[in-house]
A and B are shown apart, each in its own frame.
Chain A
Amino acid sequence: MRNLLTIARKEATVISRDRVALLIMLAMPLALIFILGSALGSIGEGDSLSIDVAIVNEDVGETGKLFVDGLTSSKELAALFNIDVSNDAAAVRADVEKGNLTAALIIPSNLTEKITAGEPIGLEVIQDPGSKIAGGIWVSVVKAGTANASAQIIAGKVLTEELAAAAGAGAGGPRARGPGASAGPMLTPPQLPPMTFDAVAVREIEAKVDARISMISYYAAGMTGMFLLFGSMFGAFSFVQERREQTLARMLSTPASRLAIVGGKAIGVLMIGVGQFTVLFLGTRLLFGVDWGQSVAATLMIGFAEALAAAGLAMTLAALGKTERSIGGIAPAAIMLFAATGGSMVPTEQLPKFLLPVQVISPVYWTVNGFLDVMRGATVADVLPNIAAILAIGAALFAFGVWRLRFE
């Protein structure tokens, strides 16, 4: 046991003194998180001026059209929103869920009827809860517009009725100006129904991961999940080096057991992984403001599990590769494959189903999705299956490696 810890400490020291290892394990992921997280923009909170929204007008009467005209003709609103007018409510709802739209307004078929009857209206405003600020602006615009429009419409209705009564002329004149235009007949209506903010039913849609999580956070999870495995490559390098330079033989000539040697080296890789994870976790928080979610414990447990899997992978790599050259070829290829199928680059939901067999054996898959779940609000209990899967894969890799490892 003492030998095991001695070897683990030595191993971690040797790897941490390798500049290339530090570059690949720390600098590379941070750089990639920054580049990918910023180049693809962000769908996160508190950002840009062009908020994608849609309006669907299902109103069979005239009032819905007034709403639409009012919202689309305003220059101020155009500066803030990218408004798409659509007929397909189902498609719009789906787009909000996917994060393609930040929010939407769906005008019910009975709007005119309700307003005319003076009943509370039920506008449906849906928003991506991951973009609360942007969505919130839309909600308040709709509310304000509703109040304004209601006033206008009712005023118009009263006026129309009065005019009709007085001159028998057709309705429509003042209405044609629309609710967005402020100039209109300024007759105060005799009574205003309670046409205010509460009238708008805001339904929050449970949007999916990629919609809720900013790009920078997404890639913090993705790249951390990928690069945590790279410790295995340097662990395997170290094994090959020790075999070649005879320090392994020298260790074998000491009273230390083979188990202590293999275990010590694996724990050394684990220690490196834990250090790497700590740097990436804190680094992405402090440098990029990444929000890893409420449950720090869950995130740390996932990271620790993957560092263990990296230690297991180190043994498999050391068993498969005889030289640094071959390991330097196998390791990045295997890690990239795990990472690409595991969601480091593209959300796994968007990958074809036939990749599933690779995904379930990819520690990156369970790690990245676990991180993302925690960012979305998952707790330790929620990600236990992920942790179990990562540990199982790590154990299998370790067992295979130890079985095939050659010491000479």
Chain B
Amino acid sequence: MASIVEVTDLVKRFGDFTAVDGVSFSIEEGEIFGLLGPNGAGKTTTISTISCLLAPDGGDVTVGGHSVRSDVTAVKRELGVVPQEIALYPTLSAGENLAFWGRMYGLSGAALKKAVDDALLLAGLEDRSKERVEKYSGGMKRRINIAAGILHTPRVLLMDEPTVGIDPQSRNHILETVKELNGKGMTVLYTSHYMEEVEFLCDRIAIMDHGKIIAMGTLNELRAVVGGMDVVDVKVESVSDLVLEQVRAIPGVKQATRTEDALQVLTPGSGSVLGKLVATLESEGSHVTSIAVTEPNLESVFLHLTGKSLRD
């Protein structure tokens, strides 16, 4: 398979601050490529350079062989963009919004009408198309936001955190929609800070932090980064800095991070560590309420690579 999006040594600065710092990846035609990273990692900035909203300060991006540096219009024609914000006109109806965005991509007449009807169907909002978008729930707005990006059946769909702030039902609908679109042959670049979404959807994943890609591959390849390690999730009432230090000092503990009421520990063999772990916590007055050993996931990969949690 040929790659349809090529990002090469991409650099984007805002003043002195380097938001994207030498990022390279390529997306094969027909795949769903995930860009996973915490808030501020540089995902939106990366997507914005691909969609020609921001000009790169270094490196290059090509889409379908067209460079964002020299052939902006050709790049834009290949792309559908679903922005992180709900970029719709609240006082226009869903149908009017979709018709507008369809026209902006050159659709008209019967083709436009069909595209709008199909998109409404995909969003599951065909019977509410005449309602103003401002009356919609958050989830419905998100669905129309996505529908507006696919009217012209782009070759590549860029989706920037399309599920932020919505109910689980709408989220599932959206994830299914992405699968459906991909099934019809659309290449998707999907960014998120929810590892479950990326695990569920993506063929290949790049993990991004502080403007850099810190790991890339299929889900299994990424899991292999943490090797045969176990993840120990401990629910505790509180963890002091001192306790965290002591836990990290336990032989066999590779990494340890805490969130508000939990401690996550990465270890090659949980059996030898569990006893000492509980003893250390209890002796320092951190009361353990539950403990579980799990398979590593992208969260643990991120933890392993950065020493912090994705959700911080």
Contacts and interface: CB of A to CB of B under 8 A. Distances in A.
Contacts of B130: none
Given A14-B91, A17-B91, A253-B53, A246 B85 contact: yes
A252 B89 contact: no
Contacts of A253: 51-53, 76, 79, 81, 83
Contact of B104 (A3, A17, A246): A3
Interface in A226-270: 245-247, 249-256
A269 B53 CA distance: 25
Given A251-B104, A253-B79, 20 more contacts: A2-B103, A3-B104, A6-B104, A7-B104, A10-B92, A10-B100, A18-B91, A245-B86, A245-B87, A246-B85, A246-B87, A247-B88, A249-B83, A249-B87, A250-B81, A250-B83, A253-B53, A254-B101, A255-B73, A255-B104
Contacts of B76: 253-255
Contacts, number: 60
Contacts of B52: 252-253
Contacts of A246: 83-85, 87
Contacts of B79: 253
Interface string B69-101: 000010011010101111111011000100011
Nearest to A407: B53
Interface of A is mostly: helix
Contacts of B77: 255
15 contacts: A2-B108, A3-B103, A6-B100, A14-B89, A245-B87, A246-B85, A249-B53, A249-B83, A250-B81, A250-B83, A250-B101, A252-B53, A253-B51, A253-B52, A255-B105
Contacts of B108: 2
A188 interface: no
What is the interface residue range for chain A against chain B? Answer: 20 to 34
Contacts of A251: 104
A13 interface: yes
Chain B interface residue number, banded: 20 to 34
Nearest to B100: A10
A3 B84 CA distance: 24
Nearest to B47: A253
A13 B97 CA distance: 11
B136 to A, nearest CB: 14
Contacts of B73: 255
Contacts of A254: 76, 101, 104-105
B106 interface: yes
A7 to B, nearest CB: 8
A254 to B, nearest CB: 4
Nearest to A254: B104
A145 B172 CA distance: 97
Contacts of A13: 92, 96
A247 B133 CA distance: 14
A256 B104 contact: yes
A13 B105 CA distance: 19
A247 B81 CA distance: 11
Nearest to B84: A246
A140 B51 CA distance: 81
A251 B96 CA distance: 15
Contact of A245 (B85, B92, B103, B148): B85
B88 to A, nearest CB: 7
Contacts of A10: 89, 92, 100
Interface string A299-311: 0000000000000
Interface in B55-78: 73, 76-77
Nearest to B85: A246
Contacts of B92: 10, 13-14, 17
B53 A255 contact: no
B139 to A, nearest CB: 18
Given A6-B104, A253-B79, A247 B53 contact: no
